[in-house]
Amino acid sequence: MSQERAEGVRLVRVDAGSDGQRVDNFLLRELKGVPKSRIYRLLRKGEVRINKGRAKADYRLQLGDEVRIPPVRMSEEEVAPPPPDALLQRIEQAILFEDDGLIVVNKPAGLAVHGGSGLSFGLIEALRQMRPDARFLELVHRLDRDTSGLIMVAKKRSALVTLHAALRGDGVDKRYLALVVGQWPKRKLRVEAALEKNTLKSGERVVRVSATGKQALTEFRVVEPFAAATLVEARPITGRTHQIRVHAQFGGHPIAGDEKYCDRDHLARFRELGLRRLFLHAAELTIDWQGRPLTFTAELPPELRQFLEVLRKSL
């Protein structure tokens, strides 16, 4: 990547390592420590130029583009704190696979996949700090902050394109373990209901079943029944926001510990038994990668395994 400097302004020529990357993510790497809100403000005001023209945050860079990056001065309050070393070490230990194009991580619950909405960093920001020489790091898909388990991060534009195509087809198989309220019927194998994003008056974002929403399909299988709950395997055929959580609720059996889609009485009952988080875990991932099938597994975190033991003893 070639660079020129002119009175504090940098002119950066996009190389193959950044080809296809969103310009906002590119700037987050080039302007380390600058908050996302400041990045977006620079783009809105036209201070960042691509080939001498304005660009929106979702513009994907192309090989040979010239990016004008202005000097940015920040007060101490504006500087985003880096992820703590303890978290970086935890993520390093959670990496299950890494080659020149792909990282697979067993994400812990409570960690967002990216910063924003009051969060200064998430998984992707931490990985960018851990891999400073990686010119391209992008999330292939997402997990909710409170969901643990397997997630993919692409290290090349070509890998991202390949995996996105696989996700749109049948080249990726994702299996989740979820504990749902009540007795899930063994005959209920599929929930097919269109989903639509909504924003409440409070500003909270939720997803609802709606005839005008996007088509969504989840397959369910009973793994282990309990007196007041059922451990199920959920296989999302489509990849909509909150899909498994809303389909479980729509099927009459919301996920235990789900503060967004489970009613207060059930939340309180499971909290009394010791459940302190959403019981949803991305447990298995199968992909076709570089000509061969790869399967990754992540066992339930200790707190979820312990909660299942509590339920077994109560039978």
Q: What CATH number does residue 33 fall under?
A: 3.10.290.10
- pLDDT value of residue 80: 63
Nearest to 225, CA basis, from 123, 312, 136: 312
- pLDDT value of residue 34: 81
241 contacts: CB under 8 Å, gap ≥ 6? 195, 197, 207
42 contacts: CB under 8 Å, gap ≥ 6? 27, 48, 70, 72
Same domain (yes/no): 200, 262:
yes
Same domain (yes/no): 15, 91:
no
24-56 confidence digits (pLDDT tens): 888 988 887 787 888 899 999 999 999 999 989
- pLDDT value of residue 236: 96
Q: For the domain that residue 143 is a member of, what is the CATH number? A: 3.30.70
Same domain (yes/no): 270, 186:
yes
Same domain (yes/no): 183, 298:
yes
Is 185 a domain residue? yes
- Answer with the one of 110, 127, 154 that is the final residue of a domain: 154
Same domain (yes/no): 219, 246:
yes
Same domain (yes/no): 137, 187:
no
217 contacts: CB under 8 Å, gap ≥ 6? 190, 191, 192, 236, 237, 238
Is 74 a domain residue? no
Structural domain count, the chain: 3
- pLDDT value of residue 116: 65
- pLDDT value of residue 5: 43
Phi, then psi, of 296 in degrees rounded to 5: -115, 145
- Answer with the one of 69, 94, 111 that is the final residue of a domain: 69
Cβ contacts of 307-314, under 8 Å, gap ≥ 24 = 307/179, 307/273, 307/274, 307/275, 307/279, 308/179, 308/224, 308/231, 310/273, 310/274, 311/226, 311/227, 311/228, 311/229, 311/273, 312/226, 314/226, 314/227, 314/273
150-170 confidence digits (pLDDT tens): 999 999 989 999 999 999 888
- pLDDT value of residue 165: 92
Are 140 and 152 within 8 A, CB to CB?
Answer: yes
Are 256 and 229 within 8 A, CB to CB?
Answer: yes
- Tell me 255's DSSP state: B
In this structure, the dihedral spanned by the alpha carbons of residues 204, 205, 210 and 214, taken in order and rounded to 10 degrees, is 170
Q: Which domain holds residue 123?
A: 85-154
- Answer with the one of 22, 42, 69 that is the final residue of a domain: 69
Is 218 a domain residue? yes
Query: What is the Rg, in whole angstroms, of the alpha carbon atoms belonging to the chain?
Result: 21
Is 217 a domain residue? yes
For the whole model, what pTM was predicted?
Answer: 0.83
Segments of the chain scoring below 70 in pLDDT: 1-7, 74-80, 116-120, 315
- Catalytic positions are 144
Is 160 a domain residue? no
- pLDDT value of residue 4: 46
Print the SS3 string covering 47-73: CCEECCECCCCCCECCCCCEEEECCCC
Same domain (yes/no): 303, 185:
yes
Same domain (yes/no): 225, 295:
yes
Alpha-carbon torsion 288, 289, 291, 293, what sign? negative
What is the number of alpha carbons within 13 Å of residue 204 lying toward its C-beta?
A: 7
